[in-house]
Amino acid sequence: MGIRVILDKCTGCTLCVKSCPFAAIKMEDAGPAQEGKRPKKKAVIDLNTCTLCGACLPSCKFNAIEITHEKREIAGKENFKGVWVFAEQREGKVQSVAYELLTEGKKLAQDLKTELCAVLCGDQLIEEEVVHLFAYGADKVYLAVHDELKHYHTAPYTRAIAEMINKFKPEIMLIGATTLGRDLAARLAIRVGAGLTADCTGLAIDPVKKILLQTRPAFGGNIMATIQTPNHRPQMATVRPKVFRKSQIPNPKSKQGNLIKFSPVINAADLSVKLLEIIKDESVKVNLAEAEIIVSGGRGLGEAKNFKLIEELAGILGGAVGASRATVDAGWISAHHQVGQTGKTVSPKLYIACGISGKIQHLAGMQSSEIIVAINKDPDAPIFKVATYGIVADLFDVVPALTKKIKELRG
């Protein structure tokens, strides 16, 4: 198993060299020089660097690169049917990301001509939420009820959902890429032998193979990869909140569906991690990951107290307050507001960056926002490369004026 260049087919065109994200292909002299001609160079793959990602294959117009691998065929994968969505609940309320995934999941289920199901875990009171899941398109809801499922812990949730997966065999399972979802999915995938793709920004069904094509960013968002899970089931994927939009008008009365209740067996070993306390951050008024509008402050604010300008603008727009890493490191605002590679990734409808230069680490966290407004004194600030509307001006003039204008217009 491995990768090789079929030297007879290689013309030395070098297209593969540029296609390799890991710089694993180089051109080297192949054979002695022919009379009057320069020695031909052919592609050579450094097996120590090559990760067998396959990006070079489509780049070669001469089919001179070959990857051979024996893939295990998993018996019985055709028995797995249905698109499942994990309905994340916190404090008894199903989270918006679940409705977003149900909306997208509906399309996938229709492509596959199969059912859309929601998986909900909680104590008895959670049953009140089931009606919303039907309203957003679920044909079926699998409801796991147990006192120990009231608040999320890794082990009991993994236990309960794995049982359901093993019993009811979904072909696809979607989970919101929240802290909860990522904690759960990673464990669950290994438990049930599934392939898991994280942070997908695009989902589609391959029309021929009828499998899930999962597209996601890598290298800090600098490249995109489309991933497949050809044999293992279910095909699991996590999706960040706000990547898909939930359907606009759910009608609670229009949909009924099949409710399947389930009492998982949770043993003492699953309860080893105990919750001691929850520390709320008083400065967080709106959840950044869920926000439609974010106003963000950077080093240009100069000092902590100037975040007040950001808070006022965010307040009047009904949005959340974001921050660059520099401001968090300087102690001007708590880390829950940090947007960026080591903070949160957000994709609101509107992102207003005030006094933020736009370093790559920050852009990685917000460049998929629908509309980006950048306010910065420095015309060369990299943020202007991604801004929909760029304003080269002093934020201390523009931000208060903007806040004032919007207040006026609202009357």
Site residues for other proteins, window 93-152 (CB under 8 A)? Answer: none
Regarding 196 and contact with other proteins (CB under 8 A), the answer is yes
Q: Given candidates 27, 107, 231, 246, which one binds other proteins under the rule CB under 8 A? A: 231
Comparing CB distances to other proteins, the nearer of 131 and 204 is 204
Comparing CB distances to other proteins, the nearer of 255 and 361 is 361
Give the Å distances, CA to CA, from 291 to 39, 72, 123, 304, 344: 60, 43, 28, 23, 12
CB of 133 closer than 8 Å to CB of 120: yes
Tell me the closest approach of the beta carbon of residue 105 to other proteins, in angstroms.
Answer: 19
Return the half-sphere exposure (C-beta side, CA atoms, 13 A cut-off) of residue 211. Answer: 18
Task: Give me the phi and psi of 184, to 5 degrees please.
Answer: -75, -50
Stretch that binds other proteins, among 35-43, 112-120, 127-135, 227-235 (CB under 8 A): 227-235
Tell me the closest approach of the beta carbon of residue 384 to other proteins, in angstroms.
Answer: 7
> What is the SS3 assignment for 168?
helix
Cα separation, 336 vs 285, in Å, equals 11
Tokens of 134: 């039907």
Tell me the closest approach of the beta carbon of residue 319 to other proteins, in angstroms.
Answer: 9
Residues in contact with other proteins, counted by CB under 8 A, come to a total of 110
Tell me the closest approach of the beta carbon of residue 171 to other proteins, in angstroms.
Answer: 13
Tell me the closest approach of the beta carbon of residue 253 to other proteins, in angstroms.
Answer: 27
- Find, among 306, 348, 342, the residue nearest to 324 by Cα: 342
Q: Given candidates 51, 110, 166, 263, which one binds other proteins under the rule CB under 8 A? A: 51
Tell me the closest approach of the beta carbon of residue 173 to other proteins, in angstroms.
Answer: 13
Q: Given candidates 6, 50, 131, 259, which one binds other proteins under the rule CB under 8 A? A: 50
CB of 251 closer than 8 Å to CB of 136: no
Task: Give me the phi and psi of 140, to 5 degrees please.
Answer: -135, 150
Cα separation, 126 vs 131, in Å, equals 10
Cα separation, 84 vs 7, in Å, equals 46
Tell me the closest approach of the beta carbon of residue 242 to other proteins, in angstroms.
Answer: 12
Binding mask 264-293 for other proteins (x = CB under 8 A): --------xxxxxxxxxx--x--xxx---x
Comparing CB distances to other proteins, the nearer of 120 and 395 is 395
Cβ-Cβ contacts under 8 Å for 113 (sequence gap 6 or more): none
Stretch that binds other proteins, among 116-124, 126-134, 295-303, 382-390 (CB under 8 A): 382-390
Q: Given candidates 64, 117, 317, 333, which one binds other proteins under the rule CB under 8 A? A: 317
Amino acid type, 337? H
Q: Given candidates 137, 195, 264, 358, which one binds other proteins under the rule CB under 8 A? A: 195
Regarding 361 and contact with other proteins (CB under 8 A), the answer is yes
Binding mask 320-349 for other proteins (x = CB under 8 A): ---------------xx----xx-x----x
Q: Given candidates 33, 210, 308, 389, which one binds other proteins under the rule CB under 8 A? A: 389
Comparing CB distances to other proteins, the nearer of 33 and 47 is 47
Stretch that binds other proteins, among 102-110, 153-161, 246-254, 300-308 (CB under 8 A): 153-161
Stretch that binds other proteins, among 31-39, 137-145, 244-252, 402-410 (CB under 8 A): 402-410
The strand ranges marked E within 59-115 are 65-68, 83-86, 89-90, 93-94
CB of 264 closer than 8 Å to CB of 159: yes
Burial 207-219 (b: 16+ CB within 10 A, else e): eeeebbbbebbee
Q: Tokens 């024996």 label which residue?
A: 70
Return the half-sphere exposure (C-beta side, CA atoms, 13 A cut-off) of residue 123. Answer: 9
Q: Given candidates 86, 372, 376, 381, which one binds other proteins under the rule CB under 8 A? A: 372
Task: Give me the phi and psi of 388, to 5 degrees please.
Answer: -75, -45
